[in-house]
Amino acid sequence: METTSANVNYAIYIGSWVNWSRGRVFGATLTLTRDQGNLLIAFTALSVAFISGRFWRIACLAFHRAYSSPDARDALHHQRQVILRNSATAGGSFWTFGQLLWTWARHGRSRTGQTEKMGDTKKTARSPLLRILPTIGAAALCFCFFAIAGGFSSQISTAIGDEVLIVGTNCSLLEPFDVFGGSDDELLGSFDGHYSKLGSNAATYAQQCYSNGQGGSSAASVFDCNSFVNDICQSNSSNLVLDTGYIDTHLHLGLNAPEDERFMFRQVYTCAPLRTDGFTTEIQGDSETYTRYNYGKAMIISTLDYTFEVNNLQSQYLRQTGDNIQWFQGVQPRLVTMELFRRNGTLVNGFDFFPIPELDNSDSDLSLVFFIGNGVLFWGPSQDDWYKATIFLDSFQTGNLSETSNKTHDIYIPQDAASPMACMGQWQFCRASLPSESRCTQLGSFFDAGIEAVSLFAPKGNSGSGNGSDSSSPTRNRFLWFMGLIGAAGNGPSGLIKTLGTKALLSQQTLRNGFQSQLFINQWKQDAQFWWHTWLASLQLVFAETANGLRDPALDRLRVFPKTQEDRDMCQNQKIQSRQHTSFSIFGLAFVFVTGAVIVILSYTLEPLFNYLDKRRHATSAPGHHRKDLEWTANDTLHLQSLGFRGLGRGTWSRFSHTVPITEPDEVLEPFMFDDDLMDNKKISMVSTPSLSDGSGTRTSHDFGRFVALQRQVSVQKPLLPPQPVSPVSPLVSSAKIGMLKTRKDSGPISW
């Protein structure tokens, strides 16, 4: 069974609570309206995307520092460093690295045997794939991981399900006993209307739920009729036993509670059609003949010598004018239910009859359900043990315009004026937190099992109560409120049969104009299971309706409010299902946002932290020590742009070691497009290594960290050469302003 579905009349709690199905930590839940939930889902997805970018920033910083080197490296190395420095997202980096790999793999292959001389070392250009694979692979993994994480961010809500809590501040039970003791017809009508609506809703829910095979809480089995004396059952081998198994108030009824506060109960419902021969008497009235059924003495106003009396079969069916059968459209069968409950082996006040010894079972409650044909005609015979439409009455001809001749149908009627079925109910209550061997009561009547269960839910010897149990025990208080909820649902299916009447018969679905279509051979079992399922559905509805509170002002005088804190807690912890609200895992939200906050903070603090550590290390190192943080700064987009302008002699720049380099105020720079220095048919080469000279032995440089002069050479277009070693860019730490390029003598190697 599932928790009851919500409709617009339920007041739903908006806020945080604990769903004990997943424990205190993982069950922490936040419930919002559907619109608020959609906003939170969208915000979470955007946050995951932002966190993805900051995580990739950390990865790029780690790769950049790992690949950073003071030695001269080829262009592929420096391009990889620039991409790592300026990557915003893993997806964008994957695409850029892919372009880099494609270009160098296609146009930058080393010629066979070609080597590049650098000092005394000979090197052959390495495969671009092996050098780009770690970064492009990391970008792909990061992109895929966070793409999946973003897609599954909605699981923070959908994985929790649509369970919500009823507010519970208007919680109240409906007290039925004052109605029967009073004379207020309006109040009686409101009371009957309330339970009629409850029964109809439960029947609808049962048909929708259990007909689809979702009602896994009850088990139907065929047993010998060993609950009654064998001579009274129509069959001793095909009777029905329905067993709920152990129903957990938390799992099946939505009563949200930790394990030590949960209850379990079980009901066993045994039904069997009864024999009528030897238990009936024909009584002649003034104008009618009646059939009396003798299964015990009825208690209506006074004690009667019979259980039930009904018009005999001839009075119901053979109303003749001459030889023609008179039948009336719209006739309905009748159901009459009589029940009794036991406490300490004696009948509880309000019982309907004293059972005969064959039906008397001191450890169970009992109900009799009589099916009365009441003029309904059956198309064909029915061998069902309860309907028993086996008496041929007449033939009936039907036809239509498309047929050349009429068809003849045989009409049957039941063989008994009323067909009785006995159903016996037994209960068992359990405390879930106790060991399995001592957690449950014995199977017994509703009241006997409940009285025995009190000792399970209250410690003994603390209050001096008659049974030795503590009347102030919180667990006892919760159990008594729980018993009141079951009582409000009717203590079993028999009360619902009284409420629904013939609507409790599934055979009504094939009844039209007083004619009953042919029935299944076990139709009575389907009906009994439907009563059972409807009662289980009504039990769920009662739990939800009680927490929500009665909305009919006419029933205010019958409302019973919770008296203890435990009762109020149960009212405010009733779960139902609602598609109009969204519940989120607080643990999931906290994990996403806390982890994301750590990643974001690290992404913004690692750069200045490494900058500080590198400065400290540089201060204690020999001159020329490699500064990884300065290379990170120099590879930034704005610094690369400033290098381009400075290489063309445009602008007076400063703040090279800061994030944003600037020019002199109001200084105007010509855009690159106004000059053809960067056109595709030109090549720009940098003299950047100590081994290269201007022919006179003089190496060119300038004040920006010994950066070499740019020499523009216009030449014939040639294929792209393999990666050539290039010195890393060395930004000047000082704030000196650089103007036009200069050359000077330099006797030492290029260093950081």
pLDDT digits (tens, 9 = 90+) for 488-510: 887 889 888 888 888 899 998 89
- pLDDT interval class at 212 (50, 70, 90): low
- String of b and e for 27-65 (b: at least 16 CB within 10 Å)? bbbbbbeeeebeebbeebbebbeebbbbbbbbbbbebbb
- Flag the least confident range among 178-182, 228-232, 278-282, 541-545: 178-182
Q: What pLDDT does residue 398 have?
A: 65
Listing DSSP states for 469-537 in one string gives: B-TT-HHHHHHHHHHHHHHHTTSSHHHHHHHHGGGG-GGGGGEETTEEPPPPTTHHHHHHHHHHHHHHH
Look at residues 103, 120, 95 and name the one whose alpha carbon lies nearest to residue 722: 103
Q: What is the mean pLDDT of residues 344-357?
A: 87
How buried is residue 454: exposed, middle or buried, by Cβ count under 10 Å (0-12/13-18/19+)?
buried
- pLDDT interval class at 647 (50, 70, 90): confident
Q: What is the mean pLDDT of residues 111-123?
A: 42
Look at residues 160, 167, 152 and name the one whose alpha carbon lies nearest to residue 27: 160
Spatial separation of the C-alpha atoms in residues 713 and 720, rounded to whole Å: 15
Residue with tokens 């076990």: 522
Q: What is the mean pLDDT of residues 479-491?
A: 87
- Work out the percent of the chain whose per-residue pLDDT is above 70: 75
For residue 738, is pLDDT > 50? no
Look at residues 115, 280, 170 and name the one whose alpha carbon lies nearest to residue 571: 170
Q: What pLDDT does residue 414 have?
A: 93
Spatial separation of the C-alpha atoms in residues 96 and 80, rounded to whole Å: 10
Q: What pLDDT does residue 137 have?
A: 93
Spatial separation of the C-alpha atoms in residues 746 and 699, rounded to whole Å: 7
For residue 474, is pLDDT > 80? yes
Phi-psi region of 430 (alpha: psi -120 to 50; beta: other; left: phi over 0): beta
For residue 683, is pLDDT > 70? no
For residue 364, is pLDDT > 80? yes
Helix, strand, coil shares of the chain, percent, nearest 5, are: 40, 20, 40
Q: What is the mean pLDDT of residues 271-291?
A: 91
Look at residues 29, 478, 444, 430 and name the one whose alpha carbon lies nearest to residue 248: 430
pTM of the model: 0.73
Q: Which of residues 569 and 393 earns the better pLDDT score?
A: 569
- Work out the percent of the chain whose per-residue pLDDT is above 90: 33
For residue 712, is pLDDT > 50? no
- What the block records as the tokens of 130 is 């092996």
For residue 327, is pLDDT > 50? yes
Q: Which of residues 28 and 718 earns the better pLDDT score?
A: 28
CA of 405: how far to CAs of 395, 408, 515, in Å?
15, 10, 22
For residue 749, is pLDDT > 50? no
Q: What pLDDT does residue 328 have?
A: 55
Spatial separation of the C-alpha atoms in residues 609 and 42, rounded to whole Å: 33
- Flag the least confident range among 54-58, 424-428, 552-556: 552-556
Q: What pLDDT does residue 242 have?
A: 93
For residue 559, is pLDDT > 50? yes
Spatial separation of the C-alpha atoms in residues 488 and 482, rounded to whole Å: 10
Query: To 5 degrees, how large is the angle CA 155–CA 160–CA 166?
Result: 140
Residue with tokens 């120099």: 634
For residue 552, is pLDDT > 80? no
Q: What is the mean pLDDT of residues 724-730?
A: 50
Q: What pLDDT does residue 144 have?
A: 92
Q: What pLDDT does residue 624 have?
A: 53
Q: What is the mean pLDDT of residues 27-50?
A: 91
- Is the alpha carbon torsion for 683, 684, 688, 692 positive or negative? positive
Q: What is the mean pLDDT of residues 159-171?
A: 87
Q: What pLDDT does residue 3 have?
A: 53
Q: What pLDDT does residue 442 have?
A: 92
CB 292 within 8 A of CB 304: no
Spatial separation of the C-alpha atoms in residues 586 and 595, rounded to whole Å: 14
CB 478 within 8 A of CB 566: yes
- What the block records as the tokens of 144 is 């895929």
For residue 523, is pLDDT > 90? yes
Q: Which of residues 473 and 163 earns the better pLDDT score?
A: 163
Spatial separation of the C-alpha atoms in residues 732 and 738, rounded to whole Å: 10
- pLDDT interval class at 658 (50, 70, 90): confident
For residue 625, is pLDDT > 70? no
Phi-psi region of 97 (alpha: psi -120 to 50; beta: other; left: phi over 0): alpha
Domain boundaries, the chain: 15-164+590-616, 218-398+418-560, 636-726
Q: What is the mean pLDDT of residues 352-368?
A: 91
Q: What is the mean pLDDT of residues 46-75?
A: 90
Look at residues 470, 213, 180 and name the one whose alpha carbon lies nearest to residue 349: 180
Q: Which of residues 231 and 441 earns the better pLDDT score?
A: 441
Q: What is the mean pLDDT of residues 213-221?
A: 49
Spatial separation of the C-alpha atoms in residues 155 and 445, rounded to whole Å: 46
For residue 322, is pLDDT > 70? no
- Is the alpha carbon torsion for 66, 67, 70, 71 positive or negative? positive
- String of b and e for 516-544 (b: at least 16 CB within 10 Å)? beebeebbbbbbbbbbbbbbbbbbbbbbb
